[in-house]
Structure 1
Amino acid sequence: MYLSFFGLGEKPFALTPNTAFLVRLAPYQACLNLLRVALGEGEGFIKVSGEVGTGKTLLCRALLNALSEDDGCWQVAWLPNPGLSPRDLRQALAHELRIADTEHLDDHSLLAALNQRLIELAAEGKRTVLLIDEAQALPPKTLEALRLLTNLETEHCKLLQVVLFGQPELDAVLEQAEFRQLRQRITFSYRLRPLDLADTRRYVEERLIHAGYRGEALFEAGALRRLVAGSGGIPRLINILAHKALMVAFGAGSRRVRASHVQRAVQDTEGARPFLRQGSASLGWSLAGAAALLTLLGLWPWLQGWLAQGGLLP
């Protein structure tokens, strides 16, 4: 709808986790660097956690691509839907490792086949890593089966490494006493944080450039501040709000996205967190209280100007 109007070749804020649009922000790059170092160590579990929409699946796919392109040193298995029974988990891993005709094997024979395949891969100089997305959905018995799989080893190294990508609920599960053995095997972990204003500015601008935009800054400073406030710095919500704000700006015939356009997008989006959703009454009381205090300090005129500049006051 708005692509040609803004000189874009494709949608810059689509929700599909497209690694071509991965912006190497400090938290993302730090996470990828940690993953590569941790995998290089060759032992145990690695855990990446973060709230819904913080980019875990995108990072999982970026790691998958990086390992797949790394001179054939890695055999990568990927499980995007981990709600599996222990047997289904072993069958899925066997499929990923290209082990044929395992459907009729009993559990002992299936585990033996997995062990043999992992030994073969190690003999070829390949390290095997299992990436599990949405790991908070792993049933307890499957988590224990996963731990037992990592017992497969030679005298020199583990035959299987596991990277868990999950929501904070995964941390709560692993804190349970029954998972203390697995918890002790998590040698590296990383918690993704929401984006701040500087991160959001770079995130928005680089995605626009990748989509073909070549003009001056498309989102005004006030629009970016409102984007952070409305999204809480969650990349998925930033994408939703930025996309809708572009639609609003296009409908208004504006060549730049303003705070008012983002505010319209925020009001139309479930899960967004604008000041307006706290209720105009609560905002009024907050400002009244601030006004009373800051008037005494002689700072109320300064605050009025700051709020107006950020689009928080008319």
Structure 2
Amino acid sequence: MTAKPFQISSDPKFLWLGEKHKEALAILKYGVLDSRGFLLLTGDVGTGKTTLIHALLQNLKTDVVWASIFDPGLEKLDFFNYVAKAFGINKTFTTKGEFLAYFDKFLQLAFIKREKVLLIIDEAQRISSELLEEIRLLSNFELEGTKLLNIFFVGQNELNEMLLDPKNKALRQRITINYNIEPLSIEETREYIQFRLGIVGVINRTVFTGDALTEIHRLTAGYPRRINILCDHALLTGYVRGVQIIDSGTVRECDAELRIPGQSEGTGAVEASGTDEAVGTAKGVAGEKADAREKKPEEVVTEKAGAVHETTVVEPVVEPTAERIRTGLFMKAGTFLLIALCVILAAGYFYRPEVYDESAKAIWDFWREMMKR
């Protein structure tokens, strides 16, 4: 295993696209390349919206100029300056009119260069209704019947409710591309887990039993982010307990450990009651996991078909510290001096034996002192 397979960060090499994700990617890409104006992508927390955005940007050609806004909960003028900075415009605007005039020239220049301009607004459910109206007006920039600016709203499901508000009717009617990402099905969950394991070199090995995969989907409700968290804990628990493969019982114990006190069973949206025994056992494992993270490399124990057990170890990356560097220098210097003095003593033994014993003792004392450091 060459890396951790279930990290939360959006590493491009772990990009997995199910059928629904491929469909969304194709639709969104078409919307950008065809200059359709407003695009909308929604989904619950942890469904993979950010991953899909990264996939879209990787698939766009170099003639698309794009910028991302990750915190749109701003005042109007702050938002305009944020947009300008995101597009590389090194100018601070003090009025809305000043920004619009300058931004219009920026868009027209991109059109002349045959470039398409895309503004991605993430966490769009945080935008106020007043700012939504200002953003709608940005779509009025046109030239020769072509929209000069594509605006891509990305947000949680609350954004759909905002757009259904009668006061946002004008904006809602201008959205030409709309896609909502649903959680993974049980089959997609299995494919997703196997894919990530395969990326780190675990191929044709049984890591999770069939029942464990079913339980993972039940407890996470098919949300990729929650799947990553639960699988990561399950692998660590398997190592701590010396379990060869991860079964459904281990998955349930890990889920119990991940719960906030008072939370129902399942890191997903599933409502069910958990047993006290499972909770108690999970708490006992928590301390063991902490020790394992401190003392040993992460180890994933897997089993091949035919009951032949194998163990794959991921060696930890040890960061150099001042103490380690100093110790290494002392040891190198001490070893060099010891070798040099031994050579001198060997020569002196034949010429002045009477001082040999005393010198040898001094060298030994010096070496021990170096080792203490």
Shorter-chain TM-score: what band? 0.7 to 0.9
Alignment check: 8 A CA contact 1:87 1:107 kept: yes
The equivalent residue for 2:273 is 278
Alignment check: 8 A CA contact 2:209 2:245 kept: yes
Aligned partner of 2:185: which letter?
A: D
Given the alignment, which residue of 80, 84, 102 partners 1:94? 84
Distance change (3 Å), C-alpha of 1:274 and 1:252: farther
The equivalent residue for 2:191 is 202
Alignment check: 8 A CA contact 1:232 1:273 kept: yes
Q: How far off its partner does 1:61 sit? A: 2.1
Distance change (3 Å), C-alpha of 1:275 and 1:148: closer
Q: Percent identity?
A: 31
Q: How far off its partner does 1:173 sit? A: 0.5
1:235-274 matched pairs, under 5 angstroms = 235-270=224-259, 272-273=267-268
Q: In the alignment, does 2:159 pair up with 1:173?
A: no
The equivalent residue for 1:137 is 126
The equivalent residue for 1:36 is 29
CA–CA distance in structure 1, aligned partners of residues 270 and 185 of structure 2: 17
Given the alignment, which residue of 43, 62, 75 partners 2:55? 62
Q: How far off its partner does 1:277 sit? A: 3.8
Alignment check: 8 A CA contact 2:43 2:49 kept: yes
| Cα-to-partner distance string for 1:173-217 (whole Å, 9 max, x where unaligned) | 001111000000111111111111110111001111112323413
Given the alignment, which residue of 65, 69, 72 partners 1:82? 72
Q: In the alignment, does 2:130 pair up with 1:125?
A: no
Aligned partner of 1:182: which letter?
A: L
In structure 1, the residue corresponding to 2:147 is in which secondary structure? Answer: coil
In structure 2, the residue corresponding to 1:278 is in which secondary structure? Answer: coil
The equivalent residue for 1:295 is none
Q: How far off its partner does 1:104 sit? A: 4.3
Given the alignment, which residue of 158, 174, 182 partners 1:185? 174
Distance change (3 Å), C-alpha of 1:218 and 1:28: same
| Cα-to-partner distance string for 1:248-281 (whole Å, 9 max, x where unaligned) | 1111212321111111111112361597943569
Q: Which moved more, 1:13-22 or 1:161-170?
A: 13-22
Q: Aligned pairs, how many?
A: 270
Aligned partner of 1:37: which letter?
A: Y
Structure having greater relative contact order (Cα 8 Å, sep ≥ 6): 1
Superposition TM-score, scaled by structure 2 size: 0.69
Aligned partner of 2:23: which letter?
A: A
Alignment check: 8 A CA contact 1:77 1:129 kept: yes
Q: In the alignment, does 2:174 pair up with 1:150?
A: no
1:279-298 matched pairs, under 5 angstroms = none
CA–CA distance in structure 1, aligned partners of residues 49 and 270 of structure 2: 27
Distance change (3 Å), C-alpha of 1:161 and 1:257: same
CA–CA distance in structure 1, aligned partners of residues 161 and 197 of structure 2: 37
CA–CA distance in structure 2, aligned partners of residues 107 and 82 of structure 1: 17
In structure 2, the residue corresponding to 1:268 is in which secondary structure? Answer: helix
In structure 1, the residue corresponding to 2:146 is in which secondary structure? Answer: coil
Q: Which runs of 5+ in 2 are unaligned?
A: 260-265, 277-373
CA–CA distance in structure 2, aligned partners of residues 260 and 191 of structure 1: 33
CA–CA distance in structure 1, aligned partners of residues 131 and 271 of structure 2: 44
Distance change (3 Å), C-alpha of 1:104 and 1:171: closer
Distance change (3 Å), C-alpha of 1:20 and 1:82: farther
In structure 2, the residue corresponding to 1:245 is in which secondary structure? Answer: helix
Alignment check: 8 A CA contact 1:248 1:264 kept: no
Aligned partner of 1:272: which letter?
A: T
In structure 2, the residue corresponding to 1:131 is in which secondary structure? Answer: strand
